[in-house]
Amino acid sequence: MPAPLLPAANAKPTACLALTDGTIFYGHGFGATGLTVAELCFNTAMTGYQEIMTDPSYAGQVVTFTFPHIGNTGVNPEDDETADPVAAGMVVKWDPTLASNYRSAEELGAWLARRGRIAIGGVDTRRLTRAIRLHGAPHVALEHNPDGVFDLEALMAAARGFVGLEGNDLAKDVTCRQSYRWDEMRWAWPDGHARQEEPRHKVVAIDYGAKRNILRCLASSGCDVTVLPATATTDEILAHEPDGVFLSNGPGDPAATGTYAVPTIQGILDRTDLPVFGICLGHQILALALGARTIKMNHGHHGANHPVKDMETGKVEITSMNHGFAVDAQTLPQGVVETHQSLFDGSNCGIRMTDRPVFSVQYHPEASPGPQDSFYLFGRFTDAMDAREKTPA
């Protein structure tokens, strides 16, 4: 077994991270106590730790933050992407300091404890990140025990018993249980979140794990948004008489979620000419519905500085990403083209149909905090709905 890595200050460890290969990281626990098992990924963003922890796309994952200053701006209710943290836990280099920000309402550690999420500080996150890049996203067990007593064999057994994300439909665990309306718009100084009072288009958003800021961007773009569960049928969607359909982000294996989501999307494409716009898991589900395949990535893309090239204009956008699966561009059928590509590894980041206003991207144009180079995609969606309204029946 490799030698355990102790906190730099040699303080008594109160948390332990165990990898399936026997590697053990000791550190300082904060947040909730207890044990969790998950896949381990890393995120390179320098801001937005609260949004990351509450992003439903991180279900089943412990997040390693490569930026060391985590927790220094606290947390506040306005920045939650969903009602509760969804990520299983967090790993950081330095223990969180006291929060200092005029919007801060609570310390990160207290917020995590109240929400039942485990965190470990004092970890060599650079070594951990290199291991993930080299060997892929491992399964891990993370335990926080103030007594500092850990059964290492049991921890490694728990990590090895994790079912993993491949073949796992997690959208069903994070989707809404019933439909609801959304009219809150993007945050703006000094009033915060205003309400959309003059929408131009009716949009049905399929919730595979939707981030609130995506819904805010749709509302800010002039949409009257109705959110439906991931399991909504074609008939249930069309009963709302939408002008367009949006496919949200979400966690897990798209092929597993696709067992029920793909027939629904195919039904919409077969029965209507509605504009369709997908993001992240929604992008992957759309690709599956069009006949392509998806694959599990070695360690995925998680960060706020990913360069993406628009293959049709040559423009390079800096984007926010969070995905562990990708569309295999070589399986795209005739009539569907690749529109965007990662400049990190060449993986697919966007598609569109050549004869219909149906398109999707792998990254997050709604990023906040984060780059806003790609917000134009929401305008492209509303422009498609405008054009459809002007087209004679």
**Cα–Cα distance measured from residue 246 to residue 266, given in angstroms and rounded to the nearest whole number:** 14
Q: What is the pLDDT of residue 369?
A: 87
Confirm whether 5 is domain-assigned: no
User: Does the annotation mark 280 as catalytic?
Assistant: yes
Rg (C-alpha) for the chain, rounded Å, is: 21
* Cα–Cα distance list, 278 to 80, 284, 309 (Å): 22, 8, 18
Q: How many domains, the chain?
A: 2
Same domain, 57 and 205: no
Residue 11: pLDDT band (50, 70, 90) is confident
Q: What is the pLDDT of residue 390?
A: 84
Same domain, 90 and 180: no
Question: What mean pLDDT do residues 320-326 have?
Answer: 98
Confirm whether 146 is domain-assigned: yes
User: Does the annotation mark 184 as catalytic?
Assistant: no
pLDDT at 331 over 50: yes
* Cα–Cα distance list, 360 to 135, 149, 160, 390 (Å): 30, 48, 35, 23
**Cα–Cα distance measured from residue 378 to residue 368, given in angstroms and rounded to the nearest whole number:** 14
Same domain, 232 and 131: no
- Element (H or E) spanning 18, and its range? strand 15-19
Confirm whether 328 is domain-assigned: yes
Same domain, 149 and 175: no
Question: What mean pLDDT do residues 14-40 have?
Answer: 97
Whether 305 contacts 44, CB under 8 Å? yes
Same domain, 366 and 270: yes
Question: What mean pLDDT do residues 143-166 have?
Answer: 97
Same domain, 150 and 182: no
| Domain C-terminal end among 160, 188, 219 | 160
pLDDT at 119 over 60: yes
Q: Which of 39, 51, 317, 366 is catalytic?
A: 366
Same domain, 326 and 251: yes
**Which residue's structure tokens are 């994300």?**
165
pLDDT at 333 over 60: yes
Q: What is the pLDDT of residue 365?
A: 97
Confirm whether 2 is domain-assigned: no
**Cα–Cα distance measured from residue 292 to residue 309, given in angstroms and rounded to the nearest whole number:** 21
Confirm whether 254 is domain-assigned: yes
Confirm whether 7 is domain-assigned: no
Confirm whether 294 is domain-assigned: yes
Same domain, 151 and 240: no
Q: 6-20 burial, b for 16+ CB within 10 Å, e for fewer? A: bbeeeeebbbbbbbb
pLDDT at 6 over 60: no
Same domain, 151 and 191: no
Q: How deeply is 381 buried, as exposed, middle or buried, from its count of CB atoms within 10 A (0-12, 13-18, 19+)? A: buried
User: Does the annotation mark 366 as catalytic?
Assistant: yes
Neighbouring C-alpha atoms within 13 Å toward the C-beta of 139: 14
pLDDT exceeding 70 applies to what percent of the chain? 97
Long-range contacts (CB closer than 8 Å, 24 or more residues apart) made by 353-360 = 353/290, 356/269, 356/273, 357/275, 357/276, 357/384, 357/387, 357/388, 358/269, 358/275, 358/276, 358/286, 359/276, 359/277, 359/278, 360/247, 360/276, 360/277, 360/278, 360/279, 360/282, 360/283, 360/286, 360/287
Residue 8: pLDDT band (50, 70, 90) is very low
* CATH number of the domain within which 125 lies: 3.50.30.20
Quick one: which of 279, 271, 267, 275 has its CA closest to 208? 279
Q: Which of 139, 201, 299, 364 is catalytic?
A: 364
Same domain, 142 and 177: no
Q: Which of 280, 317, 340, 349 is catalytic?
A: 280
Encode pLDDT of 40-73 as tens digits.
999 999 999 999 999 999 999 999 999 999 999 9
Residue 2: pLDDT band (50, 70, 90) is very low
Confirm whether 232 is domain-assigned: yes
Residue range of the domain that includes 98: 15-160
Same domain, 155 and 179: no
| Domain C-terminal end among 160, 181, 196 | 160
Encode pLDDT of 203-237 as tens digits.
999 999 999 999 999 999 999 999 999 999 999 99
| Domain C-terminal end among 141, 160, 179 | 160
Q: What is the pLDDT of residue 7?
A: 46
Same domain, 154 and 188: no
Residue 10: pLDDT band (50, 70, 90) is low
Residue 75: pLDDT band (50, 70, 90) is very high
